[in-house]
Amino acid sequence: MQYTILVSKGSFADIQTAANAEDRINWWDDGQVADQTTCTIAWAATEIAQYLKGNVSLVEMQEGWANRTGTVILMGTVNDPAIAQFAKEFGIELAYDMPAETLRIVGIERDGVQYVLLTGADRVGVMYGAFAYLERLGVHFIEPGEPAYGEACAEPVFDITESPSYITRGTKSSFIKGDEMFCLWMAHNRFNDTTDIAGGNDNYRKKLGINRTVGGHMVFSDFLDSRKEYPYCHEIYGGEGKPRDPYPVSSECTPPSGKNGEFTYGDAHPEWYALFDGERRKDVKRDPDRGWHPVYNLCTSNENAMNELCRLIVNALAEGDWKYADILHINPLDGGKWCQCEACREQGNYSTRLQMVTYWIGKAIKEAYRQGRIRRKILLDCCAYHETLPVPDKPLPEDFDYENTTVVFFVIERCYAHNIDEPICTEANQILLNRLSAWCDKDNYKGTVMIGEYYNVSSFAGLPFVLTSRILNDIPVYHRMGARHFYYMHITARDWGFIAINNYIHGKLLWNVDADGEALLNTYFTARYGKLAGQMRDLYEQMEKVTANCKYYKHYQYMNGKIVSLKNTLNNVDDVMTLTEETLFPTKHMQFRGRADDPQAGPSMEETMLGLGQALEQLLAMEKDVEPDKMLDYTRNVRRLKLGYNATRFIYLVCLCIFKQATAQDEQEMHNLAKQMSADTESMMGYETDSKWVSTALEATWLADVYYKYFAEEKSDVALGGMLI
């Protein structure tokens, strides 16, 4: 087959140069749209060329489409004059008012030549059109790396227009470092937002239509850390060479207290920090996994503190470390305490106070944009999370910038045993759904909503929790309620195994909430497993059922508005040996053995452990039938399921010991597992992080400390034995 791809080189020397010109372009300057467009579309042309089976030629658009043979592919936005000319000649009516990122692919046969028009509302829409065309040819990018191949659609005449259901379609992670292969997977699957990946190339990501998100729970402390040196010349304590202090001298200021005698923010303005139990609180605590971080949020009612915070954030966005950021998370401290001063109390509830911080930051950014310091639009999002889940209890200012602001509603307390809108789940999901509904009702808050999901929350640690049914149901539900932005935490770089289906289905539904779920599943299993597609689909369904209570036993969830967690209880109780089955498994969702007599009841701890063991046996029995080109995916699945079984078995055995129900053989197996898993780093492949919680398979149970504290020193090392996988 002969393919000719017609694409513009724009102002660049040739198509290949244009495709790789990302480092010559300022992607954050709205004045460079022409070069941005040329670069992305040229790159998309070179990208699809490598997957077309046949002879492929990349040809400058101006050379035209006349007298060509085989398949002729034209790539350009609807505003490209050449695309307009082609459309006129072939009787294609173009729409010029399409939403951002909209793609359109048109197939036409004429005089024995197949013409394919890949166009769109903008550069990203054209790129997505190219990847949609590849999918028609049976090329599917299910996991980072080489694609999987399924059945091609042979129909040569088609006209498809697609617009994104969700404006922001994100994948957030603390576990990825500078990974181009992962970014390629994102682009192929139409994701347009990710976190600030350490070591990543900002220009490369922007070429692929991927925005960079910065900020988070440390915004307050990163900029106004009380220990930082005061940047102004203070009227009392001086500061030679520093600019004039724009703030009045505080009646509470204290002498310099910095490590090297510096005069700090906390010295100059104690009133900027939380008043708690009658004292200004600027102290920090040690968290082994996150480093030093403050305990108390800022005094959100202090105008000077907010002005300084806004100034520093604008500087970071305009010229500093965040000059390549597109989205800014404005979150309070994760579990931090709030100022109790009278002015803060008068602001309203915690949600109102956080929204007001966002309002002030938004006004400062808009002024910087007007001045030309910032030359791109920036989306602000602040979180509805834990204490800020309730809607604001007071009206927000009339000039609140809802166009460039959204609220992220985090469903971290949910369960995955039920759909988010399942009425029977009164312990957990119905509470969250009611609070989400209040945000969508547009009472005091009148803006859009972003959903923050947790399909691989940190303590899942890559265990093979299949969430297909939940994702297929919930993403359309959130959209019907009014959500238009979405991301989940914490995706890993590669080696997904079973959890690849969560990532794949997630992306497809964010792009099109009306996508046919059955068709998506058929595509996934056929392309990934070939002749084993049916058996693997049955296995996935079995695993989803037996691990339905993953949120309780591996993370935490609501129980009637109170957060409960197996791992949290075990790690935080004074003495685990005093726990009983009733205190460690208090929910109707999950019991240790058997199920509660309640419609909410899901699989027990024992049922989950046994079910994973059975699934592993079935998977291992399939090895003889795995096709050679599917062996890599099979190997990843085996690794992931072994981790899931071992971790769950270990947790089960720890509980048996705590309940004093363990036999000598059970105790021996627990020690054997601990020894094996403490040496297993291979199971954590795909996690690019220094966090100890995913350093070994034993740490991934999140009970390693419990084991070492209560059991390890009492038992001698023994040879491995039992079902160790």
Q: Which of 319, 554, 573 minimizes the C-alpha distance to 417? A: 554
Q: Where are the alpha helices (DSSP H) in 482-627?
A: 500-511, 517-529, 533-546, 550-554, 566-572, 581-584, 605-621
- The pairing of beta strand 211-216 with beta strand 405-410: unpaired
pLDDT score recorded for residue 221: 87
In a domain, residue 571? The reply is yes
Averaged pLDDT for residues 465-490:
97
228-248 tens-digit pLDDT:
999 999 999 999 999 999 999
- Report the number of secondary-structure helices (H) and strands (E) in the chain: 23, 22
Q: Please tell me whether residue 407 adopts helix, strand or coil conformation.
A: strand
**pLDDT given for residue 282 in this prediction:** 85
Please count the other Cβ atoms lying within 10 Å of the Cβ belonging to residue 618: 16
Question: How many whole angstroms separate alpha carbon 673 and alpha carbon 691?
Answer: 22
Bridge partners (DSSP) listed for residue 209? none
Give the model confidence (pLDDT) of 317-330 as tens digits: 999 999 999 999 99
Across residues 702-714, what is the average pLDDT? 89
Determine the longest span between alpha carbons in the chain, in angstroms.
Answer: 86
Q: Tokens 């139409």 — which residue?
A: 190
The distance of Cα 72 from the centroid of its chain, to the nearest Å, equals 38
The DSSP H or E segment spanning 377 is none
CA dihedral 43, 47, 50, 51 (to 10 degrees): -150
- The CA–CA distances, whole Å, from 81 to 27, 73, 75, 84, 205 equal 23, 16, 12, 5, 27
Q: For position 287, what pLDDT does the model report?
A: 52
Pick 292 or 296 by higher pLDDT: 296
Angle between helices 429-440 and 468-481 (to 10 degrees): 30
Q: Determine the residue type at 357.
A: V
* pLDDT band with cut points at 50, 70 and 90 for residue 173: confident
pLDDT, tens digit, for every residue of 519-572? 999 999 999 999 999 999 999 999 999 999 999 999 999 999 999 999 999 999
Has residue 47 been placed in a domain? yes
- Of 163, 195, 219, the residue that ends a domain is 163
CATH of residue 107: 3.40.50.12090
Query: Is residue 722 pLDDT above 80, yes or no?
Result: no
Q: Is residue 124 part of a domain?
A: yes
Closest CA relative to residue 659, chosen from 584, 562, 723: 584
Residue 32: phi and psi, rounded to 5, are -115, 35
% of the chain exceeding 70 in pLDDT: 96
Q: What is the pLDDT of residue 720?
A: 30
* Beta bridge pairs of residue 60: 7
| pLDDT tier, 154 (very low <50, low <70, confident <90, very high otherwise) | confident
**53 in a structural domain:** yes
Sign of CA dihedral 189, 192, 195, 196: positive
Overall average pLDDT of the 268-294 stretch? 77
In the numeric block, the tokens 């599943």 are attached to: 521
* pLDDT at residue 723 is higher than 50: no
Q: Which pLDDT tens digit goes with each residue over 2-46?
A: 999 999 999 999 999 999 999 999 999 988 999 999 999 999 999
Does residue 490 have a cis bond before it (omega within 30 degrees)? yes
In a domain, 431, yes or no: no
Whether residue 492 has pLDDT greater than 90: yes
What DSSP character marks residue 300? T
Q: What is the mean pLDDT of residues 496-505?
A: 97
Of residues 511 and 294, more confidence is placed in 511
Q: Which pLDDT belongs to residue 719? A: 33
Q: Which pLDDT belongs to residue 713?
A: 59
pLDDT at position 66 over 50:
yes
Cα–Cα distances (Å) from 60 to 5, 42, 94, 575, 630, in that order, read 8, 10, 22, 72, 38
Residue position matching structure tokens 């009658």: 278
Q: pLDDT: is 100 or 693 the higher one?
A: 100
Last residue of a domain, one of 163, 180, 212: 163
238 Rama sector, left if φ>0, alpha if ψ -120 to 50, beta otherwise: left
Three-state DSSP class for 648?
helix
* Start-to-end CA span in the chain (Å): 48
Q: Is residue 15 part of a domain?
A: yes
Kindly state the average pLDDT of the residues 617-634.
97
Burial grade of 398 (CB within 10 A; 0-12, 13-18, 19 or more): exposed
User: Percent of the chain at pLDDT above 90?
Assistant: 90
2 φ, ψ to 5°? -100, 125
Tell whether the model's pLDDT for residue 139 goes beyond 90.
yes
Residue 557 within a domain: yes
In the block, tokens 């692919």 appear at 105
For the chain, what is the domain count? 2
Residue 200, pLDDT score: 75
pLDDT at 292: 53
**Residue 39 belongs to a domain:** yes
Confidence of residue 598 (pLDDT cuts 50, 70, 90): very high
Interatomic CA distance for residues 407 and 410, integer angstroms: 9
Indicate the residue among 113, 144, 163 that finishes a domain: 163
Cα 278 versus chain centre, distance: 39
Q: Following DSSP, what letter does each residue of 166-224 receive, concatenated?
A: SSEEEEE-SS-BS-HHHHHHHHHTT--EEE--BT--HHHHHHTT-EEEEEETTHHHHHH
**Confidence band of 718 (pLDDT split at 50, 70, 90):** very low
Q: What CA–CA distance (Å, rounded) separates 361 from 370?
A: 14
Q: In the structure, what pLDDT confidence band is assigned to residue 284 with cuts at 50, 70 and 90?
A: low
Q: Which of 476, 477, 533 is nearest to 501 (CA)?
A: 533
CB 245 within 8 A of CB 234: yes
Total Cβ atoms within 10 A of residue 571: 15
Residue 254 has pLDDT above 50, yes or no: yes
Average model confidence (pLDDT) across the chain = 94
Which residue bears the tokens 């914490």?
Answer: 490
Residue range(s) defining the domain that contains residue 149: 2-163
